[in-house]
A and B are shown apart, each in its own frame.
Chain A
Amino acid sequence: MTDVELARKNGEEHLKSKISAIQKTISYEETAYHLPISYALTGIAVHEPKTAAEVYAKTGNNPLVASECLLAETTAASGKESEPYTGFISDTVIRKLGYSLVDGSILGLALVIGKPESAGSAAAICRELQEKYMLTFLAGEVVPVLSNAGVKLGLDYRLIPLGSTPTYGIHFVDIIARVAMMFGGVTPGDTHRLLTYAAERAKAIVIVFPGLTEEEIAFADGMRVLGFPILSLGGYEGGSWIPALVETVVSRGMEEKGIRVNVTAIPIPMGCSPAFEGKSIRKEEMYVEFGGGRSPAFELLRMRQPGEIEDGKVTVIGPEIESLKEGSANPLGIIIEVAGKTMKKDYEPVLERRIHNFVNYGEGSWHVAQRDLIWVRLSKEAVAKGVRIEHIGKLLASKFRMDFPQLLDAVAVTLITDNAKVLEAKKEAEKVYDERDARIKGMRDNDVSTYYSCTLCQTFAPNHVCVITPERTALCGAISWLDGKIAFEMSPAGANQPIEKGAVINAQNGEFEGVNRFVKKASHGEIERCSLYGVMEYPMTCCGCFEAIALMLPEVNGIMVVNREFKGVTPSGMSFSTLAGTIGGGAQTPGFAGISKNYVLSEKFLQGEGGIERLVWMPSQLKEELKVRLEKRLLEAGHTGLFDKIADETTATTIEDLTVFLERVQHPALTMKPLV
């Protein structure tokens, strides 16, 4: 065992004395970047011993600079090593390599140095790196070990033998320094930007076999400054190197650096596409079913720590498809475990909802409802083609990875078909559902400082800006605050942007400085002010997607709501479609607001107008749809009996009828502060 810390210290001392002993000229050929590492770090072109010493001192005796100067001296004096070693790589080739990196045809870079104990383990690591679109550089005894084992080396094979000793690994760093200067806009001498680029943009990992000398350890450890994980395969202890096993070193390193392989094909014997989403599986077409009230079933998505789960792993606990009777209803538990650097616990329910879409993408699988109410079917046709329960797991694991590449690094799926185990796990799941409900329910606009925008509809409503808060979903009803947050994480330049709400201008109307600022900018200067909880003054703009419209009825001092499905004429004298045509297109229309149906249940609804007691009319169908939740909400707010005082088209179709009705039931709106 070599102690990394101790070896590094000794190695740095050796390097120091060697630097002061440099006598000859130091240079590389075919580059405009001099000694690239030294040049990138300090902006100084090193060509002779004096400047080498100067740069070395200036960088705080950096072992990378020392190794670069020493190797450049050797190269200038005795020329490049013979084939297959490449030695220093020219700018022209770097341009091509950099191209592949930006282009995405190479996912990242790996450096493998040291002496592998067996050719087999080195070959296995290199094969895995090739399969995962990594460009691999080799230095030291790993090169002859691989070529003796018949592994083909060269740029075409994405395995580049830099040199015969691990020291040649310094070219790995000079390549990255040049890529940073050519592609990353890093100016020579801007150390800070270089280090940021290396840490954040250069997707590089270092794999170390045993047998490094003290100087080589100093060099390898020096790469940690650049943010490259150093993975050790044994022989070293101490320091900050990550111990790893041959079998998992590549995935460990890639995970550490956030390098993701895109999944493109799903290995299952059925088609998988949104095209199949609308197709249901009728009873006659069904081979087996799960849940739907006929058997216990549930689904649950949980977040795990990276490293806790194995990506792509699918486990089936209980009988597989061949042991299930045709036409039977069986228990099922779908448990999805996900991990990712940017994944948050808050995202669990939003991601869990995607199980529904993904299972329906399968050509012979069907899914409805959610949580412990799910109902899943597999078709006879699919089972005849060889689809098993396991494949539903594969489909889910792959789709989650494909659709959320920024968010998820690993997805594992467990499918339970054993009755007792389903019941047991279901109890756990129910606990999680309850916790989530409490959390979401507990989420208030006042608890967060950031809201989210949605400008998806600006394609046709040029100046429309939706402001989404925990208590006010987008007016289309499709995007909640959490959805906005996730959408922003996944696509930081997309249509959902964070809005710092800033100082309060008017708490009752929900007007905030930061929101106004954002809305003004996002509406291209058209909209100056926006009150989130009001209809009368500066209401939010409307695109055209609103599920419902809230509008003032000055004659009765109240607000009515009409939903898109209602075809008749409302007491305002207009139908939904006439109203929609009047207020849509991204305009701000005082007295009118586009809203989602569920927003009626929010405590913020009509807050600016004095509260929900302003609500005087809704179509009966919408009343019915919201009934249970709305009555509960009214009760909580202390408005007993208000639900029945809200008119609908059966009690009032004109403003005159409405006035009569409201007076008869003594609707509270009549005695509130005048609306206008």
Chain B
Amino acid sequence: MAYTVSFDWTSSIGEVVLGATKSEGGTRKISYRIGGGSTLPFLESLPSSPAPLIAFEVCDNPVFWSPIIRNYCGDLVNDVTGWAKTADSAYGADMVRLYLTSTRLRDFSDIPSVKKTVEAVLSATALPLIIEGSNEPKIDSEVFQACGEAGQGERLLLGTAEAGRYRSIAAAALAYNHSVLAQSPIDINLAKQLNILLREIGVQRDHIIIDPYTGALGYGFEYSYSAMERIRFSALKGDTDLAMPMICSAADSLTIKEVRDAEPALQDEIAVGWELFTGIAAATAGAEIICVRHPKTIPLLKAAFADMKKNPLSAMGVQ
């Protein structure tokens, strides 16, 4: 049976460039141009359309990280530069997402250390970087200023902007030409509103990536899926305020009961499974970047994406 996948869409997803190579004014070994899709994910007729990117998440203070990952990665978690390097050399990630968890300590004030960490990670890995700044409005201004400055020329993706606090991130993005990760709580209208707020402050559309917020599979992911699907539909129907690439992080997968309470011998396997299937579902819903925390999830996701790309319709169960 002939199956049309064009659905009469009138528009396509905007493109965002992440990372800058030497010739582009940065020091990354590669830069990515993501977005650009003109139909639903994995239905593109061009086999050359890229598979979602996989970002590996690291942090500079592992106290705030899942014990599963701390056990699996061992001492590496105490050395953020080594960890970021391994993400590239051994784990095979496409990007590194650095969480500056050190800033979450009570009364954190060592702003110069933020800049040093970002610089150190930038020299440890040549992959494009996503940087998650502070979680505390009081220090946002200084932290994002430091991140933005340290990464000048590298076209970072800075997160996480929310409707209530986006000014510092927007300022850092504007001042140093980075992109903004804009998160809304599983709600298409709030996603659009935040994009409009960012635009009003001066951030261009090709510098915004939508984070619709990702619940773990079985723990609210169906809401994320539905919000993402509607964001993508609206974009393809011509709503330019929603026509941005999306990013999903499967991080919640590591804290759910089934993973937490798993038998120690099986824990890694279950955690990886949960991340993998949350990641596949998010990619199916339209995410251009999937973030994971377990190194073993990366090759499995890659293989799954390659398969889905090869024969998209059968991968989705369509004959």
On chain B, the residues within 8 Å of A100 by CB distance are: 141, 171
Partner pick for B174 among A98, A105, A495, CB 8 A cutoff:
A98
Cβ of B141 and Cβ of A102 under 8 Å apart?
no
B145 contacts chain A at the CB level, 8 A cutoff: yes
Partner pick for A102 among B140, B202, B204, B230, CB 8 A cutoff:
B202
Docked complex: A82-137 residues within 8 A CB-CB of B: 95-96, 98-105
Task: Give complex CA distance A103, B203 in Å.
Answer: 12
A185 contacts chain B at the CB level, 8 A cutoff: yes
* A-B interface, 5 closest residue pairs, ranked by CB to CB distance from nearest: A102-B171, A493-B196, A103-B171, A99-B171, A99-B175
Task: Give complex CA distance A100, B148 in Å.
Answer: 13
Known: A102-B201, A493-B193, A524-B234. A462 touches B226 (CB 8 A): yes
On chain B, the residues within 8 Å of A458 by CB distance are: 187-189
B172 contacts chain A at the CB level, 8 A cutoff: yes
Cβ of B202 and Cβ of A95 under 8 Å apart?
no
On chain A, the residues within 8 Å of B144 by CB distance are: 103
Besides A96-B175, A98-B171, A184-B202, 8 new A-B residue pairs in contact (Cβ under 8 A), listed by A number: A101-B171, A102-B167, A102-B201, A183-B171, A183-B174, A495-B189, A524-B230, A524-B233
Interface size on A, residues (CB 8 A): 23
B197 contacts chain A at the CB level, 8 A cutoff: yes
Chain A nearest CB from B172 CB (Å) reads: 7
Chain B nearest CB from A372 CB (Å) reads: 38
- The chain A residue sitting closest to B168, CB to CB, is A103
Chain B nearest CB from A517 CB (Å) reads: 14
Q: What are 13 A-B contacts with C-beta separation under 8 Å? A: A95-B176, A98-B171, A102-B171, A102-B175, A104-B167, A183-B174, A458-B187, A458-B188, A459-B189, A462-B188, A493-B196, A493-B197, A525-B237
Chain A nearest CB from B205 CB (Å) reads: 11
Contact with A along B178-190 (1 / 0, CB 8 A): 0000000001110
- The chain A residue sitting closest to B185, CB to CB, is A459
Cβ of A183 and Cβ of B237 under 8 Å apart?
no
Q: Interface size bucket, B side?
A: 20 to 34
Cβ of B175 and Cβ of A183 under 8 Å apart?
yes
B107 contacts chain A at the CB level, 8 A cutoff: no
Cβ of A182 and Cβ of B204 under 8 Å apart?
no
On chain A, the residues within 8 Å of B170 by CB distance are: 102-103
B200 contacts chain A at the CB level, 8 A cutoff: yes
Partner pick for B202 among A96, A104, A183, A459, CB 8 A cutoff:
A183
Task: Give complex CA distance A493, B241 in Å.
Answer: 11
On chain A, the residues within 8 Å of B168 by CB distance are: 103
Task: Give complex CA distance A103, B197 in Å.
Answer: 13
Cβ of B175 and Cβ of A182 under 8 Å apart?
yes
Docked complex: A486-508 residues within 8 A CB-CB of B: 493-495
A455 contacts chain B at the CB level, 8 A cutoff: yes
Cβ of A493 and Cβ of B200 under 8 Å apart?
yes
Task: Give complex CA distance A459, B188 in Å.
Answer: 8
Cβ of A98 and Cβ of B175 under 8 Å apart?
yes
Task: Give complex CA distance A104, B226 in Å.
Answer: 35
On chain A, the residues within 8 Å of B193 by CB distance are: 493-494
- The chain A residue sitting closest to B204, CB to CB, is A185
Task: Give complex CA distance A494, B194 in Å.
Answer: 9
Cβ of B187 and Cβ of A103 under 8 Å apart?
no
Cβ of B189 and Cβ of A99 under 8 Å apart?
no
Cβ of A105 and Cβ of B141 under 8 Å apart?
yes
Task: Give complex CA distance A494, B201 in Å.
Answer: 16
Chain A nearest CB from B196 CB (Å) reads: 4
Known: A99-B145, A103-B171. A462 touches B230 (CB 8 A): yes
On chain B, the residues within 8 Å of A185 by CB distance are: 202, 204
Cβ of A95 and Cβ of B175 under 8 Å apart?
yes
Chain A nearest CB from B144 CB (Å) reads: 8
On chain B, the residues within 8 Å of A493 by CB distance are: 192-193, 196-197, 200
Chain A nearest CB from B121 CB (Å) reads: 22
Known: A98-B175, A182-B175, A493-B193. A103 touches B234 (CB 8 A): no
Partner pick for A455 among B171, B189, B233, CB 8 A cutoff:
B189
On chain B, the residues within 8 Å of A525 by CB distance are: 237
On chain B, the residues within 8 Å of A102 by CB distance are: 167, 170-171, 174-175, 201-202
On chain A, the residues within 8 Å of B176 by CB distance are: 95
Chain B nearest CB from A452 CB (Å) reads: 15
Docked complex: A518-540 residues within 8 A CB-CB of B: 524-525
Looking at B145, B172, B174, B226, which has the most chain A CB atoms within 10 Å of its CB?
Answer: B174
Docked complex: B145-165 residues within 8 A CB-CB of A: 145, 148
Contact with B along A176-194 (1 / 0, CB 8 A): 0000001111000000000
Contact with A along B219-251 (1 / 0, CB 8 A): 000000010001001100100000000000000
Chain A nearest CB from B5 CB (Å) reads: 18
On chain B, the residues within 8 Å of A98 by CB distance are: 171, 174-175
Known: A493-B193, A524-B230. A99 touches B237 (CB 8 A): no
Looking at B141, B175, B176, B204, which has the most chain A CB atoms within 10 Å of its CB?
Answer: B175
Chain B nearest CB from A97 CB (Å) reads: 10
Chain A nearest CB from B131 CB (Å) reads: 16
- The chain A residue sitting closest to B145, CB to CB, is A99
Cβ of A524 and Cβ of B237 under 8 Å apart?
yes
Chain B nearest CB from A209 CB (Å) reads: 32
Contact with B along A448-475 (1 / 0, CB 8 A): 0000000100110010000000000000
Task: Give complex CA distance A338, B117 in Å.
Answer: 49
Task: Give complex CA distance A612, B121 in Å.
Answer: 71
Task: Give complex CA distance A182, B141 in Å.
Answer: 18
On chain A, the residues within 8 Å of B196 by CB distance are: 493
On chain B, the residues within 8 Å of A101 by CB distance are: 171
Chain B nearest CB from A7 CB (Å) reads: 37
On chain A, the residues within 8 Å of B145 by CB distance are: 96, 99, 103
Task: Give complex CA distance A455, B192 in Å.
Answer: 12
On chain B, the residues within 8 Å of A104 by CB distance are: 167
